[in-house]
Structure 1
Amino acid sequence: MNNLSNSAMQLRIIQAPSLKYNRLDCQLWVKQLSAMTQACINLGASIGFLPSSSSRAIQNYWWQVFDAVIKSQKTLIIAELNGVMAGCVQLSPATKDNAQHRAEVEKLLVHPNSRRKGVATKLMQAIEQESTRQQISLLVLDTQSDSDAEILYQSLGFKVAGQIPHFVSDARGDFHATTYYYKLLAPTLRNRIERAAQARYVNEY
């Protein structure tokens, strides 16, 4: 587990093999992460749960996350402000042989009490740094269309890949679309793809 400090903000990068499976530590994190998740859900966040979801279901999800971390299947980054959990995000590398360069960004959460303080941006910057360290050159993610998260991702250089209607439902039963985003991290790869796209455009027109 590595710590990255930035004034009052501290980022904890939790991953194997540095994470020792201490159940007491994990219990504390699961409790805090579950409480933060519930707070976000109560404000309408589309993160796989509804306000009616049980606390046990949310806690079970976070235990599954820690199991995946221990198995080196993902990295969890937690942000703290003045010692209090403020947000989190996950990096899940693809497992297929032909997709070792790709990872999914999952569950970017910021506690309602810690919003508008740059937490989400710092977490996403940490994700990119960790991705580079792991030699990941392509990030993908999805978020509810027309959400505040879209503004954040676009400001960080993520590009729209497409949209799926009726993808998720809210507490009232209304359906919402989801937008998929991607970001190429390796400059050489990004430049090569952009040149190829330009070449196709020239050939077609």
Structure 2
Amino acid sequence: MSNVKVEQIESIEEYIDDLSELLIRVVEGDASIGFLPPLQLTVANTYWENLLSPDTLLFVAKINNQIAGSVQLHLCNKQNGNHRAEIAKLMTHPNYRRNGIGRFLMIEAEERAKREGKSLIVLDTREGDPSNLLYSSIGYIQAGKIPYYAKSSDGELHSTVIYYKSI
């Protein structure tokens, strides 16, 4: 999709409504990103308002100036881990799925990680989710699984898959 624009967000205020709507819609779709439906607007707003820090970067994908997705890059600054970063909460709005949004966001996050001097990226995702195919297709290697890691809205416990990529 050629009209996708990815940018880093450095202030949430201007985007809080769109980001909260994105989070709520993705959670309603049973995404495993730390929240369970029904997600209240106040909870979503509080989440976004407290997200950004020097070590947590937020990227959004826009189509026609509408937020179509987001991803976070968490920079590790521990002495023994300052070479790595973590991808968190890759989200694509249901109206924009299957258009390469996740891929665009991942490429941008990886490029930023490189500029920050990182050489390793890690992430995890629920086993069986479509994101597993995306991560494998862009070079992430499965390191293992943790069973019973995340609960879904029906109370079922799911495994999470841990991935890594040298960049």
TM over 0.5: yes
Q: Identity of aligned pairs, percent?
A: 35
Matching residue of 1:90: 72
Q: How much is the aligned-residue C-alpha RMSD, in angstroms?
A: 1.3
Instruction: Give 1:136's match in structure 2, choosing from 112, 118, 123.
Output: 118
Instruction: Give 2:7's match in structure 1, choosing from 12, 27, 35.
Output: 12
Q: Which has the higher strand share?
A: 2
Structure showing greater Rg: 1
Matching residue of 2:47: 61
- Residue by residue over 1:77-113, the C-alpha shift from the partner in whole angstroms, topping out at 9 and shown as x without a partner, is 1100111110010111113111110000011000000
Matching residue of 2:34: 48
Task: Count residues in correspondence.
Answer: 167
Matching residue of 2:87: 105
With the length of structure 1 as denominator, give the TM-score of the two structures: 0.78
Equivalent residue letter for 1:12: E
Alignment of 1:63-82 (within 5 A): 63-66=49-52, 68=53, 72-82=54-64
Distance 2:2 2:94 in 1: 20
Please give the secondary structure, in 1, of the residue aligned with 2:155: coil
- Residue by residue over 1:15-73, the C-alpha shift from the partner in whole angstroms, topping out at 9 and shown as x without a partner, is xxxx4x5xxxx33312111100111111111110011332222211111113x2xxx11
Give yes or no for contact 2:28–2:38 (8 Å, CA) kept in 1.
Answer: no
Q: Which has the higher helix share?
A: 1
Equivalent residue letter for 2:36: L
Please give the secondary structure, in 1, of the residue aligned with 2:67: strand
Equivalent residue letter for 1:165: P
Please give the secondary structure, in 1, of the residue aligned with 2:51: helix
Query: Any gaps of 5 or more consecutive residues in structure 2?
Result: none
Distance 2:156 2:2 in 1: 42
User: Is 1:176 paired with 2:162?
Assistant: no
Query: Any gaps of 5 or more consecutive residues in structure 1?
Result: 1-5, 186-205
